[in-house]
Amino acid sequence: MANIRISNFYYLIAGILAMLFAVTHAWNGQSAVLPALGVGEISADTHTVFTYVWHIITAENLVFGIVFIIMSLKNDRSKIRFAAWMIVTILIVRLAVIVGVTAFHDVSALSDTLIDSIAIVIYVALVLIGTRMK
Protein backbone atom coordinates (compact mmCIF):
# COMPACT_ATOMS: atom_id res chain seq x y z
CA MET A 1 0.00 0.00 0.00
CA ALA A 2 1.29 3.45 -0.90
CA ASN A 3 2.36 5.84 1.78
CA ILE A 4 0.15 8.91 1.38
CA ARG A 5 1.64 12.10 2.76
CA ILE A 6 -0.33 15.33 3.12
CA SER A 7 1.87 18.23 2.01
CA ASN A 8 -0.64 21.01 2.60
CA PHE A 9 -3.27 20.59 5.31
CA TYR A 10 -4.93 23.90 4.36
CA TYR A 11 -5.69 22.57 0.89
CA LEU A 12 -6.92 19.30 2.38
CA ILE A 13 -9.33 21.14 4.69
CA ALA A 14 -10.43 23.40 1.80
CA GLY A 15 -11.05 20.30 -0.32
CA ILE A 16 -13.11 18.59 2.36
CA LEU A 17 -15.10 21.80 2.92
CA ALA A 18 -15.71 22.18 -0.82
CA MET A 19 -17.06 18.64 -1.04
CA LEU A 20 -19.24 19.28 2.00
CA PHE A 21 -20.48 22.50 0.35
CA ALA A 22 -21.32 20.49 -2.78
CA VAL A 23 -23.40 18.01 -0.80
CA THR A 24 -25.22 20.67 1.23
CA HIS A 25 -25.81 22.82 -1.86
CA ALA A 26 -27.35 19.90 -3.76
CA TRP A 27 -29.40 18.87 -0.74
CA ASN A 28 -30.66 22.41 -0.11
CA GLY A 29 -31.52 22.82 -3.77
CA GLN A 30 -33.40 19.55 -4.08
CA SER A 31 -35.22 19.84 -0.75
CA ALA A 32 -36.01 23.55 -0.44
CA VAL A 33 -35.16 25.83 -3.35
CA LEU A 34 -36.05 23.90 -6.49
CA PRO A 35 -39.41 22.53 -5.24
CA ALA A 36 -40.47 26.10 -4.44
CA LEU A 37 -40.12 26.94 -8.14
CA GLY A 38 -42.88 24.51 -9.03
CA VAL A 39 -45.38 26.49 -6.96
CA GLY A 40 -45.04 29.74 -8.91
CA GLU A 41 -46.01 30.87 -12.36
CA ILE A 42 -42.71 30.13 -14.12
CA SER A 43 -42.39 28.22 -17.34
CA ALA A 44 -40.90 24.74 -17.60
CA ASP A 45 -37.96 26.23 -19.53
CA THR A 46 -37.22 28.72 -16.74
CA HIS A 47 -37.47 25.94 -14.15
CA THR A 48 -35.03 23.83 -16.17
CA VAL A 49 -32.54 26.69 -16.50
CA PHE A 50 -32.73 27.49 -12.79
CA THR A 51 -32.21 23.80 -11.94
CA TYR A 52 -29.10 23.36 -14.07
CA VAL A 53 -27.64 26.71 -12.98
CA TRP A 54 -28.15 25.63 -9.37
CA HIS A 55 -26.40 22.32 -10.00
CA ILE A 56 -23.52 23.95 -11.88
CA ILE A 57 -22.48 25.44 -8.53
CA THR A 58 -22.88 22.02 -6.89
CA ALA A 59 -20.65 20.40 -9.53
CA GLU A 60 -18.16 23.26 -9.35
CA ASN A 61 -17.84 22.80 -5.58
CA LEU A 62 -17.32 19.07 -6.05
CA VAL A 63 -14.58 19.63 -8.65
CA PHE A 64 -12.89 22.24 -6.42
CA GLY A 65 -12.94 19.75 -3.55
CA ILE A 66 -11.34 17.00 -5.60
CA VAL A 67 -8.72 19.39 -6.97
CA PHE A 68 -7.79 20.71 -3.52
CA ILE A 69 -7.51 17.21 -2.07
CA ILE A 70 -5.19 16.23 -4.93
CA MET A 71 -3.25 19.47 -4.51
CA SER A 72 -2.84 18.74 -0.78
CA LEU A 73 -0.82 15.66 -1.72
CA LYS A 74 1.55 17.42 -4.14
CA ASN A 75 5.03 18.51 -3.09
CA ASP A 76 5.79 21.05 -5.81
CA ARG A 77 3.76 24.03 -4.62
CA SER A 78 4.90 26.35 -7.39
CA LYS A 79 3.03 24.24 -9.96
CA ILE A 80 -0.25 24.24 -8.03
CA ARG A 81 -0.27 27.82 -6.74
CA PHE A 82 -1.75 29.14 -10.00
CA ALA A 83 -4.68 26.70 -9.76
CA ALA A 84 -5.29 27.78 -6.17
CA TRP A 85 -5.32 31.45 -7.18
CA MET A 86 -7.73 30.74 -10.05
CA ILE A 87 -10.14 29.00 -7.68
CA VAL A 88 -9.82 31.86 -5.17
CA THR A 89 -10.64 34.31 -7.95
CA ILE A 90 -13.74 32.31 -8.92
CA LEU A 91 -14.84 32.18 -5.27
CA ILE A 92 -14.38 35.93 -4.81
CA VAL A 93 -16.36 36.62 -7.98
CA ARG A 94 -19.03 34.20 -6.75
CA LEU A 95 -19.25 36.10 -3.45
CA ALA A 96 -19.41 39.44 -5.27
CA VAL A 97 -22.26 38.16 -7.46
CA ILE A 98 -24.18 36.79 -4.46
CA VAL A 99 -23.84 40.01 -2.47
CA GLY A 100 -24.20 42.35 -5.45
CA VAL A 101 -27.31 40.73 -6.91
CA THR A 102 -28.91 40.45 -3.48
CA ALA A 103 -28.15 44.11 -2.67
CA PHE A 104 -29.45 45.22 -6.07
CA HIS A 105 -32.75 43.39 -5.70
CA ASP A 106 -33.37 43.65 -1.94
CA VAL A 107 -30.83 45.23 0.41
CA SER A 108 -32.77 43.96 3.41
CA ALA A 109 -32.10 40.38 2.24
CA LEU A 110 -28.32 40.77 2.61
CA SER A 111 -28.53 39.18 6.05
CA ASP A 112 -29.77 36.02 4.30
CA THR A 113 -26.40 35.78 2.53
CA LEU A 114 -24.40 35.91 5.77
CA ILE A 115 -23.81 32.17 6.19
CA ASP A 116 -22.79 31.70 2.54
CA SER A 117 -20.55 34.77 2.73
CA ILE A 118 -18.82 33.58 5.90
CA ALA A 119 -18.32 30.11 4.40
CA ILE A 120 -16.74 31.56 1.24
CA VAL A 121 -14.49 33.91 3.25
CA ILE A 122 -13.26 31.03 5.45
CA TYR A 123 -12.75 28.85 2.37
CA VAL A 124 -10.77 31.59 0.59
CA ALA A 125 -8.73 32.27 3.74
CA LEU A 126 -7.74 28.60 4.04
CA VAL A 127 -6.66 28.51 0.40
CA LEU A 128 -4.69 31.75 0.70
CA ILE A 129 -2.91 30.47 3.81
CA GLY A 130 -2.16 27.28 1.88
CA THR A 131 -0.60 29.25 -0.98
CA ARG A 132 1.79 30.90 1.46
CA MET A 133 3.16 27.63 2.86
CA LYS A 134 6.78 26.93 2.00
Please write the tens of the pLDDT for every residue from 3-14.
788 999 999 999
The residue type of 94 is: R
pLDDT at residue 1 greater than cutoff 60: no
Distance set, CA 14 to CA 18, 32, 58 (Å):
6, 26, 15
Integer Cα distance of 10 and 106 in angstroms: 35
- What is the number of structural domains in the chain? 1
* pTM for the full predicted model: 0.85
Integer Cα distance of 18 and 57 in angstroms: 11
pLDDT tens digits along 40-96: 778 888 888 888 999 999 999 999 999 999 999 988 877 789 999 999 999 999 999
Predicted pLDDT at 123 = 95
Predicted pLDDT at 119 = 94
User: CA end-to-end span of the chain, whole Å?
Assistant: 28
- Is 120 part of any domain? yes
pLDDT tens digits along 97-133: 999 999 999 999 999 999 999 999 999 999 999 998 7
pLDDT at residue 26 greater than cutoff 90: yes
Predicted pLDDT at 37 = 81
- Is 126 part of any domain? yes
- Is 52 part of any domain? yes
- Is 67 part of any domain? yes
- Is 1 part of any domain? no
Predicted pLDDT at 67 = 95
- Is 27 part of any domain? yes
64: Cβ contacts below 8 Å, ≥ 6 apart: 14, 15, 18, 87
- Is 2 part of any domain? no
